[in-house]
Structure 1
Amino acid sequence: MSTPFEDRPAEDRPAVPDPFESAAVLDARSLRGLAHPLRMRVYQLLQKAPATGKAVAEKLGVSSASASYHLRQLEAYGFIREDPDLGTSRERWWRADADGFRLPEHLDTEAPELTTALRHAIAAGWSERLGAAVNQWSAQPEGWREAQFMSDRTLSLTLEQAQSLRAELVEVLNRHTAEGNAGTPGERTVHVQLAAFPQPGPDPAPDLAADPGPEDSP
């Protein structure tokens, strides 16, 4: 079920905490550390809870050598760190070092190949997660089955309208993030995936037949 937007001026709305306040801010160097599909999956796994290399390999269905390599890469770029309080002489435990990350828009100009690779890695994870959700869609308990939704819209917007849409959606997500995680009975983890982008390639040519314009005078 979608949540309506508050029809009030932004300055009259209560301040909403930024859930990415303590997130890592990527730069051209650290961007390389996440621009890999498997490395992104490892990082997202550790965002949920600390784990050993063996547990990472088992949960992701990869070899221990592959898991170890990507863990070392994530450590080298500052995304994860070893947790000595959990580790032993035989096992090393790893945890994420920040609450998510931000991708500054200037990197699309400075390192477009890497930002494209990173977004492909993120999109691959979205696709995998959505596919798993669809497989369980009909089996969800009553109430949750009706609350989940998939939606796809094609809009005609100006740049200003697109920017306004982005700001409003982010505000709603931030508000619900702040209201959640309270340990309320019946609370579940809910994944929300949003993307908005201009139509890839050129927009369709206007239908000239719909507006022939002024006719030539005889």
Structure 2
Amino acid sequence: MASSVTPDIAGLRALSHPVRLKMLGLLRTEGPATATTLAQRLDLNTGATSYHLRQLAQHGFILEDTERGNARDRWWRAAHDSTRTDFEGQGESEEDIEAYLLTVALAYGDRLRAAVAEMHSLPEPWRKVGTLSDWERSLTPPGAQALVERLTAIIEETPHSDDETAAPFAVNLNAFPRPGAHT
């Protein structure tokens, strides 16, 4: 599976739909699934689910998993581990980029609220390893870009563990100029 993808504007538009973003997230985190399985998880009908899956496939975010299922039972899998947004050269589509980013921000907020809600029920060793921290630094645009690149490299270079105590560990990287600082 490819590590990441940087979608074009049409791809960003496709991912701006909250249901599609959730479907892609489920296929990434929980593995291959059918339209029926995803419909049940997302409380949708299978027709709507199939439509959204076709849209994701059309833009290369998911692939049919031909090693599973049969003619009646079509399985889908994520085509990559992460989605990146390239803000350069897309000034003519600022509304599309903003719509996508707002959808992502809402999805991250939902996931973060769910993580906080279950923190108290985590096994003791897992209660101590997360963080909800924030920092501010005064940086130039090249300095900010260098910081984001370093943090991204650390995340991507951290290997998956095969240890029996390993579990999925989510990392969201949110780095941005402080709202209101440049207006």
Shorter-chain TM-score category?
A: 0.7 to 0.9
Greater mean deviation of Cα atoms: 63-72 or 53-62: 63-72
Larger helix fraction of residues: 2
Larger Rg: 1
Cα separation, 2, equivalents of 1:78 and 1:56:
18
User: 1:167 and 2:160 equivalent?
Assistant: no
- Flag the 1:131–1:22 CA change in 2: closer, same or farther, 3 A: closer
Structure 1 residue 71: Cα displacement: 0.9
Q: SS of the residue aligned with 2:171? A: coil
Structure 1 residue 107: Cα displacement: 4.9
Pick one of 19, 25, 28 that aligns with 1:38: 19
Cα separation, 2, equivalents of 1:70 and 1:170:
29
Q: How many residues align?
A: 182
User: 1:125 and 2:107 equivalent?
Assistant: yes
For structure 1, the residue ranges without an aligned partner over 5 or more in a row are 1-19, 205-218
Cα separation, 2, equivalents of 1:157 and 1:32:
31
TM-score normalised to structure 2 length: 0.86
Greater mean deviation of Cα atoms: 77-86 or 188-197: 77-86
Structure 1 residue 183: Cα displacement: 0.7
- Answer whether contact 1:27 1:107 (CA < 8 A) is retained: no
Structure 1 residue 139: Cα displacement: 1.7
Q: Per-residue CA shift, 1:167-214, capped at 9, x if unaligned?
A: 3322321232xx2x231221111111221211223459xxxxxxxxxx
Cα separation, 2, equivalents of 1:170 and 1:98:
16
The equivalent of 1:215 in structure 2 is: none
Alignment of 1:69-218 (within 5 A): 69-176=51-158, 179=159, 181-202=160-181
For structure 2, the residue ranges without an aligned partner over 5 or more in a row are none
